[in-house]
A and B are shown apart, each in its own frame.
Chain A
Amino acid sequence: MQATLRVPRPLVGRLPTVSPLLLVAVAPVAIILLFVGVLFWVSIQRGTIGTASATYTLENYTALFGDPFVLRVVLNTAIFAATATLVSLAIGLPIAWLAERTTLPGKAALYAVMTLGLLIPGIYTAMGWTFIAHPRIGLLNQWLMGAFGLTEAPIDIATPVGMGFIQGLSLASLGFVLTVQMFRAMNPSLEEASQVHGMGFATTMRRITLPLAKPGIMAAVIYIVTIGVATFDIPAIIGLGNRVYMLSTYIYVKANPSGAGTPEHGITATAGVFMIVVAVALTLWYGQVLRQGHRYQVVTGKGYRPTPIKLGRWAIGAWGFIALYALASKVLPFLLLAYVAFTPYLAAPSAEMLSQLSTAQFQRIDWALVLRGLRNTTLLMLVVPLAVLLFGFCISWLIVRSRTRARYLLEFVAFLPHALPEVILAIGALLMALFVVRGWLPLYGSVWLIAIVYIVARLAFATRALNSSLLQIHRELEEAAFAAGLSTARTAWRIMLPLLRPTLLSVWIWTALLVYRELTVAVFLSSQDSITLPAVVWSYWFSGNRNMAAAVTLIMTVVLVPLIGIFWWYGRRSQVTTQ
């Protein structure tokens, strides 16, 4: 490793060959490799792991790939992921462009709209859409059947395409976040030159803007596809109950069977190894994009001055599009959330139910449990984003600025957790805590175990965002600093950090919010002393207490809105200062 991981090219020969950043970067990488190692180790075992009854065999592989049911699951997952990616980028990408490259009036509100999207957990987007488009209780279906005299509901959300659409709505915020930095940093001089030469808007978009945005879009596509493959909450809420299985829910069922039988950790781990293979393919693809990144470096030390595009009367259409999206993905689910929190039992909205609204559910809440969950969630929201930024920056710096082939290993390992369903990471961590480190590290049942998985799981998000930003900062800025006699550290501090500050803040906010609403890992790893607020919500939900689940989520949302406001205001102020 010492021979391959080097400091940036301008300093070669002046400093030792091992960057101090490597010391930080290697820690999460080691944890990720440990998780992968545990998964592989478990995948080749049958019997109770960690006991004498466990035997080494390849039976898990033959059992998984010989099961025709798995083929149907994989097909469902592919359809679901493709739909989710298409919908999320069809919404997120134009809104990101509108926010950063146009004169759209009131566009500052876009950040609030998109950020608030993360506050609505997937389970409530799913629940909201159940009341909108479920074949039997969906208001839209009932209206369509009445209006056109149909005998059967025309829309069914309990299909891979239906769930993919809802997941896409939920992920549009992420599509926005993944691409907004790219539009913010893109030098508009080429677009302006295009327009000066008489090219219209559409031609400029097709021949200039989109090609310039290609690396960022491709990165977002890869990122969202892998989320689509790995996502759990919406397939669990809508799919499991309707017997439509995705890879993540199949793995969940194998790891956490209801009824007879024992958890099939071997099958789960084998599916995890399969996902690692998928991750290899996606990472190689991403690497191709990254290698061509220099062709798209458009932020230089010379004349970086974005000029927004005037929308004119198209602004009305743009706001109509945004309002429709906000209504479908945020407003309706939130209204449903509030409605359910105040109803005595779960039922479709009606005049009769509206007359029964009360605060009874809030009085039934187990407040000691909620406060325990709040304490753990707060701790995680403070620790995890800081650690993610620290490790993410070190890894990204080495990936983007180092010239050796070893950076692909770092890139791959940092990307790997994203390609793995969080169910797999959680099980890897659980098995590690139970059977590997139990003698010397008391992680089992501790909130720190959840923190480690969160840090590892969010690393891919942080490195994607930081990679994109670092790619668009030309080396000539560093070279100028080095020529002026600044050290690596001072160059990073004085040049890179101010330029990266908006990205760092953005990653901080989104990581904190993702930690805040993260469900899957919490469901697997929460214990008496480490339960988080989302796990409290989930426990109410899965126990059939949906009203109380809604009540707790409503409280969570109300409490966090001011924090979002502070984060957002600070982020915008920081951006203005930087510019």
Chain B
Amino acid sequence: MKRMGFSTLLSGLGVLLLLATSCGPAPAAAPTKPAAAPAAPAQGAAAAPPAQSQPASSALQQLIEGAKSEPVLKAQWSSSSFGGGPGLNEIVADMNKKYGLNVQAQFTPGRDMQALMELLAQENAAGQPASTDVYLGNAPAMVDALRTGVLRTIDWKAILDRPIPADPAFDPYAPDGTAVAFGTTLVGIAYNTNLVRGDDVPRRMEDPLAPKWKGKIASTPYAAGMREFAMPDMLGRDYILDYTKRLSQQVGGLIRCGENERLTSGEFAMLVFACGGNDVAELKGRGAPIDYAIVQEATVLHMRYGAVPKNSSAPNAATLLVAYLLSPEGQELLWKLDGMDLPLFPESHLRDQVDQVKNAGGKVAYNSPQWLLSSPGFTEQQQELEKILRENAR
């Protein structure tokens, strides 16, 4: 061939590019398929009596052995949750130290908790590896997980290095052992202290509905707080539906729980309701004009659960990470990273705060999947509240 024509050259390049684009190697770290089940304790029933569980040391040892062949633990959640990437690095470093492992953490910030659970369900249905090897999320996401069957069943009691103290009001294990609670925050109202002062600080549910706040307050697109307050044993559906309609007339915008900087900037005076005061405390520590109030009528302990997706690529390391979070050192680190722990433990920093709220006479509920599922139509009710908040739009 004496010379290559321009068109031929372009065609050749095109074919090469197509090949490179469509048939190129997958990223080195990308697993081709989900790993097998965890070495030992997974698939067990959480409700099984302790006598039927394997001895903790044996079950743990099998997990540790399994985790030694899992070099990378991928995790995904909001970068403002659990200390984000640096937080995960600290957790995994401590976990490695505790269990004698050398797992590397890889963090990627992700969607909100329920949206991430939907992604996991989609990936599981399509036979793809999970976007996150370990899932840390809230109770409504656990309800979604039970519907889609995306999480592994694990005998958590067999692998924790101490039992979680019993509380008649709360079972920390999700149905079928799909998850275990490791921390909580208290639902309340976040507010800008430059704009909301003195007697204006909200103390009751109705306070944000005062005419002076019209158009100046925000709520969440997922009706945080209100979806739980509407439960029969809290403030009830009728009151909360009416309340949400009135609140919707007051609301100037919808923001997510992590977007407290839109309060510090003065764009909004309050967030009614916020998922917890932990990130408010972090901002306050940086000198931001922000604070947090829990209304007298009620609050919800917004529980956080740890779980392992069925299509996790590192199920042993993922299970160990959740187990580590429930150890004394794990709880202390979680408090340091994100201002939360599990108030069932005696050393809990939140325990006194929870007791104060309980003693104040307001209604307090542990937000668990069991509790949410006890009210038929919880999901539809949440959708109704979201629609009211969303569609009262311009």
The answer to whether B390 touches A366, judged by C-beta atoms less than 8 angstroms apart, is: no
In the complex, chain A residues 537-554 whose Cβ is within 8 Å of any chain B Cβ = 539-540, 542-548
- A530-B27, A544-B258 known; A137 and B108 CB under 8 Å? no
In the complex, chain A residues 57-83 whose Cβ is within 8 Å of any chain B Cβ = 69, 72, 76
In the complex, chain B residues 93-131 whose Cβ is within 8 Å of any chain A Cβ = 106-112, 114-115, 118, 121-123, 125-129, 131
The answer to whether A258 touches B256, judged by C-beta atoms less than 8 angstroms apart, is: yes
- A241-B253, A434-B126, A487-B5 known; A24 and B21 CB under 8 Å? no
CB distance from B184 to the nearest CB of A (A): 19
Which residues of A sit under 8 angstroms from B74, Cβ to Cβ? 528
The answer to whether B6 touches A259, judged by C-beta atoms less than 8 angstroms apart, is: no
Residue of A nearest to B30 (CB): A529
The secondary-structure label for the interface of chain B is: mixed
CB distance from A498 to the nearest CB of B (A): 12
The answer to whether A527 touches B108, judged by C-beta atoms less than 8 angstroms apart, is: yes
Render A244-256 as a binary contact track against B, CB cut-off 8 A, 1 for contact.
1100000001001
Render B131-152 as a binary contact track against A, CB cut-off 8 A, 1 for contact.
1100000001000100000000
The answer to whether A369 touches B85, judged by C-beta atoms less than 8 angstroms apart, is: yes
The answer to whether B128 touches A444, judged by C-beta atoms less than 8 angstroms apart, is: yes
Render B11-25 as a binary contact track against A, CB cut-off 8 A, 1 for contact.
101110110111110
CB distance from B162 to the nearest CB of A (A): 31
- A240-B254, A260-B140, A529-B29 known; A445 and B264 CB under 8 Å? no
The answer to whether B125 touches A21, judged by C-beta atoms less than 8 angstroms apart, is: no
Q: Which of A200-208, A212-220, A345-353, A560-568 contacts B (4 or more CB under 8 A)?
A: A345-353
CB distance from A533 to the nearest CB of B (A): 12
Per the bound structure, the CA–CA distance linking A444 and B7 in Å amounts to 32
Decide yes or no whether B373 CB sits under 8 A from chain A: no
The answer to whether B267 touches A368, judged by C-beta atoms less than 8 angstroms apart, is: no
The answer to whether B125 touches A50, judged by C-beta atoms less than 8 angstroms apart, is: yes
**Chain B interfacial residues counted at CB < 8 A:** 92
The answer to whether B115 touches A489, judged by C-beta atoms less than 8 angstroms apart, is: no
- A241-B253, A369-B85 known; A260 and B382 CB under 8 Å? yes
Per the bound structure, the CA–CA distance linking A545 and B259 in Å amounts to 8
The answer to whether A544 touches B394, judged by C-beta atoms less than 8 angstroms apart, is: no
Per the bound structure, the CA–CA distance linking A526 and B79 in Å amounts to 15
CB distance from B323 to the nearest CB of A (A): 23
Give which listed residue, B81, B222, B251, B380, contacts A258 with CB less than 8 A. B222
The answer to whether B261 touches A447, judged by C-beta atoms less than 8 angstroms apart, is: no
Selected A-B contacts with CB under 8 Å, 7 pairs: A21-B10, A158-B253, A258-B115, A260-B114, A345-B287, A452-B22, A540-B109
State the B residues within 8 Å of A (CB).
4-11, 13-15, 17-18, 20-24, 26-27, 29-30, 32, 74, 76, 78-81, 84-86, 106-112, 114-115, 118, 121-123, 125-129, 131-132, 140, 144, 216, 218, 220-223, 227, 251-256, 258-262, 264-267, 279, 283, 286-289, 379-380, 382-383, 386, 390-394
In addition to A387-B17, A441-B23, 17 A-B residue pairs with Cβ atoms within 8 Å of each other are A23-B15, A69-B393, A158-B253, A240-B254, A241-B254, A242-B252, A242-B394, A243-B253, A258-B115, A259-B221, A259-B223, A366-B84, A368-B106, A434-B122, A445-B129, A448-B21, A489-B9
